[in-house]
Structure 1
Amino acid sequence: MQPYTVFPDKPIMDNGPMARTFLSMDIDDFHHACRYVHELPYGYNSDREDPMILFKEKMGSCTTKHAVIATLATELEIAIDKHIGIYAMIEALVTGTKPILDRYNLPYLPMVHCFLVFEDQRVDLSEGNQNGKNGPIDDFLYTEKVTANISGKDEYLLYRKALNAHILPRLEFDGIAIKTILKAREEGITLLRANIQK
C-alpha cells in the first residue's frame, strides 16, 4: 500500500455534500481531507449506510473511511475508486486467529478489507490505525472495484460470490463447505472488534 500523497491534490470546491462537510471544517484541499480521515480513530460505526456517520461519530472503519474519500474524489472529479479485497487472515496478522482456524480446520480465514485505487496505486487510509491487525494487508486473494457507498448487504453478497468463484476452488479449501467459512467469518469479525479495544 502507498501513502495518500500518491493521490493528486486538489482544492475542495463546493461540488456536493461531502465537499461541503469538509469545507465547513476548514479543510480545503484533498490531501488535508485524506489526512483528517486517516488520523481519525479506527472503529466500527453504528450505521455504515449513512455516508456522514464518520463525521458524526468521529471514527471509522475501512468501510466508512474509504467511502468518504471515494465520494469526495467523485465530487472533485479525481479518478479514485474504492475496491474491496479478500485477504488471508492468519495468526501473524490478527492475534487470536489460530484457535478459529483450528476449530474449523481452515488454512486461513478469508476476510474482506477495502482500500482506494488511483491508477495502479493502492492506498489504505486505515493502515497504521489501531484496527485489530498487527500490520498492513499487502496481498489479496481477490479484489473488485465497488461503489463508494456499497451497502453491507451488497458487500456480503459479493463476498459470498467471490468465495464460491475464487476461494473455494483453491486446493487448500478442498472439501471445505462455504457454510464453514461463513461461520468462522463471524468469529473473525468478533475477534477484530475485540482486538481494537485492546
Structure 2
Amino acid sequence: MDSYDVFPNTPILSSGAVGKQFLELGITTFSDACRFVHELPYGYNSNRDDLMILFKEKMGTCTTKHAVIATLALELNLPIEKNIGIYAMTEQIVNGTDRILEQYNLPYVPMVHCFLAHGNHRVDLTEGNANGKKQAISEFLHTERVVPNVSAKDEYLKYRHALKENILKRSEMQDIDMKTILHAREKGLELLKANLDG
C-alpha cells in the first residue's frame, strides 16, 4: 500500500457535508483530512452506515475511515475511489486464525478490507493503526470499486457474490461450500474484534 501523500493536496472548498465538517475542525486541505482520519484510533463504530459516525465517535474502521475520505474526494471532484478487497486471512495476519481454519477445514478465511484507489496507487488509512492485524493487507483475492458509503448490507451482498463467482471457484476451495465460508467469516469478525480489545 502507498502513503496518502500520493493524493493531491487540494484545498477543501466544499459545500458538501463532509467538507463542511472538516472545515469546522480547522482542517483545510485534503491531505490534512487524510492525516486526521489516519491518526484517529481504530475502533468499531456503533452504526457503520452513518457517514458522520467517525466524527461523532472519534474513531473508525477501514469501512468508516475510507467512507469519509472517499466522500470528501467526491465532493472535491478528485479521482479517488473506495474499493473493497477480499483477502486471505491466516495466522500470519491475525493471531488465532488457525483455530478457525482447523474448525472449518479451510486454507484461509476470505475477509473484506477496504482501501482507497487513485490511479495505480492503493492507500489504506488504517495501516499502522492498532487494528487487530499483525501486518498490513497488500494482496487481495478480489477487489471491487464501491460507492463511498456502501451500506453493510450491500457490502455483504458483494462479498457473497465474489465468493460465488470467484473465491469458491479457486482450486484450494474445491469441495468447500458457501455456508462453511460464511460461518468462518463470522468467527473471523469475532476474532478481529477480540484481538482489538486484547
Q: TM-score, normalised by structure 2?
A: 0.99
- The residue aligned with 2:176 is 176
- What residue in structure 2 maps to residue 57 of structure 1? 57
SS in 1 for 2:66: helix
Q: Given the two structures, how large is their TM-score scaled by the length of structure 1?
A: 0.99
Shift of 1:15: 2.5
Count of aligned residue pairs for this structure pair: 198
Partner of 2:24: 24
Give a deviation string over 1:113-165, Cα, whole Å, max 9, x none: 00000011000000000101001000000000000010000000000000011
Residue equivalent to 2:80:
80
1:150 counterpart residue number = 150
Amino acid in structure 2 at the alignment position of 1:188: G
What's 1:130 paired with?
Answer: 130
Which one-letter code corresponds to 2:186 in the other structure? E
Does residue 8 of the first structure (1) align with residue 8 of the second (2)? yes
The 4+ residue runs of structure 1 with deviation greater than 4 A are none
Partner of 1:90: 90
Kept in 2: contact 1:15–1:76 (CA 8 A) = no
| Gap runs ≥5 in structure 2 | none
| Contact 1:94–1:133 (Cα < 8 Å) also in 2 | yes
In 2: Cα distance, 1:168 partner to 1:159 partner: 12
Correspondence for 2:159: 159
Q: Work out whether 1:66 is the aligned partner of 2:66.
A: yes
Give the share of equivalent positions with the same residue, in percent: 61
The alignment partner of 1:110 has SS state of strand
1:90–1:97 contact (8 Å) kept in structure 2:
yes
SS at match of 1:107: coil
Deviation string for 1:30-77 (max 9, x for gaps)?
100000000000011000111000000000000000000000001111
In the alignment, residue 158 of structure 1 is paired with which amino acid?
K
